[in-house]
Structure 1
Amino acid sequence: MGEIANTFIWEIGSFQDYVKKISHGDSFSSTKFCMPQNCQKKDGIKPTLWQLHLYPNGDFGAGNYISVSLEAIKTPFEISNNINEREQRHKIGIGKIVDNKSFMSKNFIKKVTGIKHNYNFDNPPATWSLDQLISLNAIFPDGNKFKSIDIFIQITFIDFEESFERNEILYEKSEKAFGDEDLTDIEFNFDCDKIVKAHRVILAMGSKYFKEKFQGEWKGKKKVTIEDTSCMAFRAVIYFIYTGKLMYEGCGCCILVNIHIETRKLADMMGLTKLKCLVAKEMPKSLNEGNWDKFLLIGWKTNDKFLKDIVLEYAAKNWRKFKKGKGLKRLVSAASDEMEVIEELVSIANKRKQMAIW
């Protein structure tokens, strides 16, 4: 899921009243919210339930600071499946809501990133806490705590795959072996008459999928025919196993969208979640004003949630430019009998407009 779907914004009007009325050690709470937001049953995603608690005059012994806590609330799915803990990464920020007459903008005053916490339901409440989120002096720089101010708390959840960092030592030797046909002992043949050569031991060490294939269906074979698969996408998978990197990175060519789609499907089949993450980060570079609507419609009609979410996120980030462009007109015309895709796009774009930029 993209950043927009994994973001919750808590708007707090007249914050000065909470500072005045709520004592040190006491809190008030946001509405309960699901993450990711607006996911549908057909997507097969099990959303998690959360609630934020804000201490306007601090807690945990923090004087003149605002404290915050995030509570994990057990869902019916977690109860029925006896799931007793939940691990999550997130970043959180606090800022001011500014009235610019024609629109409301949100500007961060403080951001906290790189947070990782394990929520244990066997030891309630299952919460993460930060006793010094921000000082009250940063909210009221002139010292007047009765001055009217509207604030917001924004929290974004981060998929664990997104935090993947390449281990240089791990790939140092295998990266040099990529493309070197000396000592290769397996050959993959494709319908396009292309050949990809590789080393069994490197593939088996880097992928459970290949290890099982070499021990089973491909055991003893020196040549394997790969059908109904793009040789370029397959080569991108091999390249990732050797190097930990994404092939064609930084090209930004629209032709690569289809290759990225196939690479993602192969990565999904082979359980290469880190490669899926790299593809998700790279694919938007190949989208542009002339093709985003085409790929959004493909993702929608083929029920390819991965592709659809990437294009929706991309279009939402560029909504100011796209909302009056030819792409949206083409999309409305092509999806005249499937207006749900338009409604979802507008909903995501509106959510993006409400967010502060990290």
Structure 2
Amino acid sequence: MSAAYSAVHNNSCLPFIHTWVIKEFQHFCDKQNLLHFIISEPFNSPAPNDSNNNIKLEYTWRLVADIENIGEDFSLYMYIVALQTDFEREKELNDRISTFRFKVFKNQIHGNMNSFEEFIMFNQNSFTHRTKFGIKNAHGGKLCKINQLFPNNDTSISTNIIIRVHINELEKSQNDFKNNINNSSLFSYSLEQFFNNPHFSDVTFTFDCGSELKASRLVLAAKSTYFMNMFTGEWTESNQSKIAIKGVKYEYYKAMIYYFYNGSLDSGLNFDALMGLFSEADMCQIEDLIVIVANKIVEMISNENWHEILLMGWQSNNNYLKKAGLKFVHENWLNIKNTENMKFIIENLNVEWMEELMSISKTNFYRRA
């Protein structure tokens, strides 16, 4: 049994807050009848208005409590799920960039005692995430072990779990986000003097080429929820001082870590390096870096590389790269339709991508007619 309520402040700078209460949580933790997923009812939060039609929009979400069994330990994980709205479906949007902050509490009634306690979530700070739609793309992390919720493993204690999620949508444009992202960072000043500095590092990344890169866990975790989860979760790497990075070029990973320390990109990155950096940022879900690198890549689009940008947009589900690639095809169709790059794209298409490309070619055909 669960209950929920929401609150939104008139001041748009303050977050929307939704509270989900899972009552009698102890019943879900009975190992004889363990229910792994507990899913909240859908709830809505304010979304940026459609400036073209002045329509008031909302985003739809669900929260998920997941009890996972890792070895002999049962642990509680919390996730947020983005549900695609009719407006997003109409606009062919596949994800949304949002900021989140979780607060989780437990309320226990044991005899005449009534206790209320806050639990430290995987990341108490607000974090930005590109949330794709659907439960398989839920974003979150580990809260605690189940036995931490119940003294002496006594699951007969009446226990309510209260989850509060703060959601504050990013209404900035790509360029605004790129120019102002450092203002929201934990470290707003450059740490370049500490980059790859062994005196201020406690983890070393090794690469297939034999190169090594030193970094601070604190800096990486502060800049990225991916690294926060790596160093604080159940990952093998969480307790390792040396972490092997397989199948990734040293230059790409170095550029990502450099960004964490300096707050800006290395000015010497060429197109190939930017594409490699984009792949790493996308895999690690470094949302601010994804936006900045995508902007740089699009600025360099040409007859020689448009096919790589378009394919990357499709493969990473990045609308900014995809639309830039399709726009280039539309505007340069006669010059590129019979090229090796077009042949390369066609050989790598799936049905959905083929339909998008065909719609561009048909538009050009009718335009010429």
- TM-score of the pair, normalised by structure 1: 0.46
- TM-score of the pair, normalised by structure 2: 0.45
Rg (Cα) greater in structure: 1
